Structure 1
Amino acid sequence: MKRLIEKGLMFGNLIEVSSPALVDRYRRALRHLTGKDTALTDFHIDISGYSPEIGMELDDPLYLNPNGVNRQFILLTTEQKRAPLLNAKFSFSRQVLREFIEQNESKLFALTTRDAVAGELQNSVLMANTPARLMDIRRIVTEADTTGGDVANARELTAKIERFKTEEDAWWDDVLIAEMIGLAKETGDVTRNPVDLEMTTTEVPNYWTAHFGGLYVWRDVEHPAVIASGAVPEIGGVEAFSMSARNRVAAFLDLNHLVEPIVKARGTDASAILRQKMDFIVVDAAASTGQSLQGATRRDLRMIARGLGADLPEAYLGLADLVRWIDGGGDWPKIDSKHPAYFYTLRGGAHMYRDLVNQMLAELAPLDVRQLFICHKELFYGLYKGWEDGKRGFVADFLDEEYQVDKAGTRAALFGPEPGMTPPGPPQEDPEPQARPPRRRNPQRMVELVGPWGAVKRGR
């Protein structure tokens, strides 16, 4: 993992904490939340305030995430909103934290100039001891305060000010006035400079969780289901099946209008994207046979592919057939959900659950290491440890040289513009369809005639 850390591909964009004042604030917040302490004088934190160095010191990677369910957080600066979330147990946690910081940014900026802000992502589940308990996670409430209780004191002062203004004879209540003066010394003038933090509530209808080997919980779709990376759980009232049941997964994605074929996506260079996926498949095949990948270029990978010949994976051959068709030199390939290339040909549609769909597709097509790194870092790091050293080196160099230089541009090219809050649904027809030549080579027309692939069987 050292190679990834050196290139900023692991623990990248963390916030450095090295000044004595910030370290002291962090320690106070840590004791306030957990009762634990650290002897470190410099370390790094993620968006939630989790530090991998302190996690190692305490021998507890979940010291801010008890039971892996209710994530606690420590904010020292609003700049944490740009940091990643390490050891994520739920796909929604980072987005919820970022939204909380952005909605309260000016107040948090003022509060963190003198103290740390500590809080928790609260839900009704304290322990996920059974898969069925995960179905109760529907709403996340984010609440926070400084370790000195500035927000609570400000709320109390505000209430007392209201009493002072409205209650009869409050002008002569010496106790009330003394309490107001005492609180004002702690909070300042809350009438001019409010320090209250807005408590946010976030609905989480669909999500991924690392619990129980990895589960994708889909509730807010036309055909709900729980899809398991490991053992299939028993959850009453909801259909559950394994990620390895490729036909059922494909039917689920199709019936709920969650995916679109890359060849049909507008403004996308489908041929270039699929060729890159083919290169990643060759890299895996070459590494497994002990071939050197040091400094390998695309030309080198083509030579390796020719050398492998009949030993090329079926996924590579399927994508090659599709690229030939896109370029106008081959017949329409028959790629159904049983074909190893099938999930490599899809991406999440332009809807509010796009990122979760792309995370699931990354798990279904793990040889596409670029999408795996972007969409499912937890799985990427886990698989990386088991790769041959040649593949680890190639992938680290590729991500450093090809992805790190333009992250936003790469994501837009692969997955399209950032989706809005549109729910998934059947694709909309163009209001004024453009005339298309009746030639077989037009990929858009052919896809519209046969559907995404015309090969997903909807039965079990």
Structure 2
Amino acid sequence: MKRLISRGLMFGNLIRVDSPALVERYNRALERLSGRRTGLTEFHIDISGYSYEIGEEFGDHFYLNPGGVNRQFIILDTRQKSAPLLNAQFSTSRGILRQFIEENEAKLFALTAHDAVAGELDNSVFEVSTPARLFDIRKITVVADTTQAHVANARKLAEKIERFQREDDAWFDDVLIAEMIELARQTGDVTRNPVDLGRPTYEQGNFWTAHFGGIYVFRDAAHPAAISVRRRADLGEMPVETCDLTMRNAIATFLERNDLVEPVIKARGVDGAAILRQKMDFILVDAATSEGMEIDGFDQRSLHRLAQRMAGRLPEEFRKLGELVRWALNGGKWPRIASDHPAYFYTLRARADHPDRDLVNQLLSELAPLDIRQLFITHKTAFYAAYRDWPEAKKDYVAEFLARDYAANKAGAREALFGGAPPSPWRTGPRPPKDDIIDLVGPWGAVRR
């Protein structure tokens, strides 16, 4: 993994925590959530506040995710919104956390100036003992507060202010006034600088989960289904039609019936032939390195010579994609590819305008695992697991390719492959108004312009 780490392809974009003040705030939040404290004086955290180093220290990488169902989080800095989510158990978790931080950025900026914000993605389900229990998870409510309960106290103060304004004899209620003064010392002026984060709710309709070896749940599709990485027989009774990754015809039918995919070669705004040629390179390198062949280089001329040397041993995926590329460049008869052919899912991508585009592309990456670029972008858990078993020559090629052709322009590469950003599938209910970070800084007063 050193190749990936040194190139920023693993544990990249994490937030460094190395000051005594931030470590202490983290420990206060950690103690509140789990009853534990870290002895480390320096570590890195992801978007949820999880730290791989602390997981190693505890011997428990689920210390912020007990049971793998209701993810807890610690926010020290709003910059965490751009960090990845490590050891994710649900594909929706990072999107929900990022949107929560973005929608409350001004308030969180104020609150984290003096304290950590700790909370939980609450879905009201505390365990998933069987795959069918996954369908009980419908909505995720974000519950959050500082370790000193600034949000809860602000709510209390707001209620008392409302009572004070409503009741005629409140001016003579010394107890009420004293309580208001004491709370105001902790929260500041909540009438001018509200700090209530609310309890926003996000829909978890279609999602992937790492539970039970990996399951894709499409319950909000016109024709619902679940797709399992493990054998269908291992799942037991399910509330929707269910298949596993070996049932390629059934999966192809599901994707087509729900209009979830489109052929790469016919997608608008992309160079389909170039994308397929790149997939052919990935397939070629895998085949050659698996045979232990010497590879002179990874430029196009070297790979072309490598394909000539392999001749009759070229994989079926490579040959069929080659036919499709030749059709795109030269025309002629359309090369039919059946859904049970090993090249079939390499020819597809998710519809660019679909809210579940990323989820569908993640599923396709498991059905076409030799496309190392798509696997890395859409399903890092599967990518890292596969990487460990690759020959050293393939590891060299993949690390160098991703660093050069993807990491240098991530947003551009994603758009070229998958299209622009799809509509967000997370939020339910009205969005909160945007706050100006200059005017709104929470309980410590407004900053002067």
Which category describes the TM-score, using the shorter chain as reference length?
A: over 0.9
Does 1 or 2 have the higher relative contact order (CA < 8 Å, sep 6+)? 2
> Shift of residue 293 of structure 1?
4.1
Q: CA, structure 1 residues 174+319, in 2 after alignment: closer, same or farther (shift >3 Å)?
A: same
TM value normalised by structure 1 = 0.90
Which residue in the other structure is 1:458 paired with? none
Q: Give the one of 399, 402, 405 matched to 1:402.
A: 405
> How far apart are the structure 2 equivalents of 1:30 and 1:389?
40
Map 1:87-102 → 2, pairs under 5 A: 87-102=87-102
Letter in 1 for 2:141: V
- From the superposition, tell whether residues 338 and 327 of structure 1 become closer, same or farther in structure 2 (CA, over 3 Å): same
CA distance in structure 2 between the aligned counterparts of 1:396 and 1:124, rounded to whole angstroms? 41
Structure 1 residues without counterparts, runs of 5 or longer: 423-460
- The amino acid across from 2:75 in the alignment is L
The alpha carbon displacement at 1:421 in A equals 5.7
Question: Shift of residue 144 of structure 1?
Answer: 0.2
What residue in structure 1 maps to residue 430 of structure 2?
Answer: none
* 2:313 paired with 1:305: no
2:347 maps to which residue?
A: 345
Distance 1:234 1:226 in 2: 12
Partner of 2:188 in structure 1?
A: 188
Query: 2:420 is matched with which residue?
Result: 417
What is aligned with 2:436?
A: none
Alignment identity in percent?
A: 61
Task: State the partner residue of 1:392.
Answer: 395
Alpha-carbon offset, residue 297 of structure 1: 1.4
1:139 maps to 139
Task: For residue 339 of structure 1, report the CA deviation from its aligned partner.
Answer: 0.9
Distance 1:24 1:275 in 2: 52
Match of 2:328 in 1: 326
Question: How far apart are the structure 2 equivalents of 1:236 and 1:215?
Answer: 12
Q: Deviations over 1:355-385 (max 9, x none)?
A: 1100000000000000000011110011111
Name the structure 2 match of 1:238.
Answer: 240
Q: Is the 8 A contact 1:104 1:198 kept in 2?
A: no
- Counterpart-to-counterpart distance in 1, 2:151 and 2:355: 33
Query: Is the Cα contact below 8 Å between 2:64 and 2:71 reproduced in 1?
Result: yes
In 2 relative to 1, CA 135–173 (structure 1 residues): closer, same or farther, beyond 3 Å?
same
Count of equivalent residues: 422
Mapping of residues 202-217 of structure 1, within 5 Å: 202-217=202-217
User: What SS class does the counterpart of residue 81 from structure 1 fall into?
Assistant: helix
Please say if 1:272 is aligned against 2:305. Answer: no
Q: Calculate the TM-score normalised by the size of structure 2.
A: 0.92
Structure 1 residue 237 displacement after superposition: 3.0
Task: Tell me the residue number matched to 2:256.
Answer: 254
Report whether the alignment pairs 1:367 with 2:370: yes
The offset of 1:291, in angstroms, is 2.0
Change (3 A) 1:49 1:293: farther
Task: Check whether the contact 1:143–1:199 (CA below 8 A) recurs between aligned residues.
Answer: yes
| Residue ranges of structure 2 left out of the alignment (5+ in a row) | 426-449
Query: By how many angstroms is 1:243 displaced?
Result: 1.1
What is the root-mean-square deviation of aligned Cα atoms in Å?
A: 1.2
User: Could you tell me whether the CA contact under 8 Å between 1:17 and 1:44 is conserved in 2?
Assistant: yes
Once residues 99 and 294 of structure 2 are traced to their aligned partners in structure 1, the CA distance between those partners, rounded to angstroms, is: 45
Map residues 70-109 of structure 1 onto 2, 5 A cutoff.
70-109=70-109
Contact 1:26 1:116 in 2 (8 A): yes
CA-to-aligned-CA distance 1:152-211 (integer Å, 9 cap, x gap): 011011111111111231111111111111111111111111111132101111000000
Q: Is residue 295–residue 306 contact of structure 2 (8 Å, CA) maintained in 1?
A: no
